[in-house]
Amino acid sequence: QIVGEALDAGTGWVDYIWMIPEENGIYHKSAYFRLTEGSDGNQYIVASGMYLPCSEPGPS
C-alpha cells in the first residue's frame, strides 16, 4: 500500500496493523511516507512509522 500510494501521490500517511511475535501481540501503527529523488538520480520511498496508543486492552 505504501509503495502504490507513494508512486501515485508522492506523499501520505497509512494506518496498518503490525504483529510483534516476541511480544505476542498485534499493534496499530501509522506511517508517513514520501517519494524522493536521491543524489544518484534514482527514486526512493522513505517512510517512518510509530505505534499508536491503545485505547483499551486487546484480547489475551
Cα(37)–Cα(22) distance, integer angstroms: 36
Do 58 and 26 form a contact (C-beta atoms < 8 A)? yes
Domain boundaries defined on the chain:
2-51
**Residue 54 confidence (pLDDT) above 90:** no
1 or 34, which is more confident: 34
Instruction: Provide the pLDDT for residue 21.
Output: 76
DSSP character at residue 59: -
Region 2-20: mean pLDDT is 92
Beta strands in 1-60 (DSSP E): 11-20, 25-37, 43-51
pTM: 0.72
**Residue 59 confidence (pLDDT) above 60:** no
